[in-house]
Amino acid sequence: MKVSLIKQIEEKMQAHLSMEQMGQLHQVLESCLISTEQQKDNEKDLLQLFLAAKRVEGCSGKTVKYYESTIRNAIGKIKKEITSIETDDLRIYLDQYQEENNISKVTIDNIRRILSSFYAWLEDEDYIVKSPVRRIHKVKTCKTVKETYTDEALEIMRDECDGIRDLAIIDLLASTGMRVGELVKLNKSDIDFQNRECIVLGKGNKQRKVYFDARTKLHLQKYLSSRSDNNEALFVSLQKPHNRLLISGVEIRLRELGTRLNLHKVHPHKFRRTLATTAIDKGMPIEQVQQLLGHQSIDTTLQYAMVNQNNVKESHRKYIG
């Protein structure tokens, strides 16, 4: 492509330049185009090196793809070399991106956080002197009280769900607080029925132990004894060939159940938030809840747990009123 472009330019300029000038033009074009190609290669290398570093740190393939697409979108829109991008460029990009796409402040802050991670890495690796994201502060977001399941809603779902498999899924999510991604990765051999526990593979390929109650144990055993397939997965699809159940399969099943029972926002993650809230509400130390949920930061655990307002009212009467 480079040779073809030089040839086109030279043909158009041939009538206007002498032989000596044509020679100089040829040298300049080769020098500039080679420099531009090297620049693009270097920028591509920087991004790929950063993504490799993230993979080494234990980030999942899904996370790495999100990092890559977010950074590529920003660089493509700003249209500057990676190492030449300044704070104002990024501020303008974030402002325009939010306005054009009408997205939430949470999403904008996620983009800011990813760009910050990338440029902090460039700074640490001495590719740049100072990250341009340093002066872009965390985006202030409105904190909303996220819903949890009531005891009544959980019992209604248990009573009305279709089949023993779905009942076992609801029980396991509700009693362990595991992520739906962790649930679908489980194999039958991972379950320790005697001690009512299992080891799940969480974010960053970190393993942790979670625990389930007696009801979950009975329903899991009943579900497994009803199966005739040889799949090692703990949960499989209802239709042949009974492949491992996917995250989307769990989400669709729960959403359909919620719609049928007229329950608001039934989804797997809500079980996790409900367990965190209930545990803290009943006095479990926050550090233990953090370990149970597999959170790296205790701040994340606090965001998951919504304190029961009735208990706040009772405490106010007890200690203040």
Assess whether 269 carries a catalytic annotation. yes
Assess whether 97 carries a catalytic annotation. no
Considering the candidates 165, 219, 273, 295, report the single residue annotated as catalytic.
Answer: 295
- Find the helix or strand (DSSP H, E) in which 98 lies: helix 87-101
CA 267 to chain centre: 16
Largest CA distance in the chain: 96
DSSP state of 262: T
- Reduced to 3 states (helix: H, G, I; strand: E, B; else coil), residue 257 is helix
Considering the candidates 26, 113, 242, 269, report the single residue annotated as catalytic.
Answer: 269
Instruction: Return the ∠ at Cα 41 (arms to 36 and 45), rounded to 5°.
Output: 145
User: Using CA atoms, how far apart are residues 48 and 183, in angstroms rounded to an integer?
Assistant: 31
Assess whether 26 carries a catalytic annotation. no
* Class of residue 226 by CB neighbours under 10 A (exposed 0-12, middle 13-18, buried 19+): exposed
User: Using CA atoms, how far apart are residues 276 and 289, in angstroms rounded to an integer?
Assistant: 7
Assess whether 143 carries a catalytic annotation. no
Considering the candidates 112, 179, 219, 270, report the single residue annotated as catalytic.
Answer: 179
* Class of residue 87 by CB neighbours under 10 A (exposed 0-12, middle 13-18, buried 19+): middle
Q: Is the preceding peptide bond at 132 cis, omega within 30 degrees of 0? A: no
| Nearest by Cα to 141 from 111, 109, 113 | 109
Considering the candidates 112, 217, 272, 273, report the single residue annotated as catalytic.
Answer: 272
CB 191 within 8 A of CB 220: yes
Assess whether 65 carries a catalytic annotation. no
Considering the candidates 93, 119, 149, 304, report the single residue annotated as catalytic.
Answer: 304
Considering the candidates 26, 113, 185, 203, report the single residue annotated as catalytic.
Answer: 203
Assess whether 208 carries a catalytic annotation. no
User: Using CA atoms, how far apart are residues 299 and 107, in angstroms rounded to an integer?
Assistant: 19
Name the pairing type of β-strands 191-192 and 207-211: unpaired
CA 281 to chain centre: 27
Catalytic residues: 179, 203, 269, 272, 295, 304
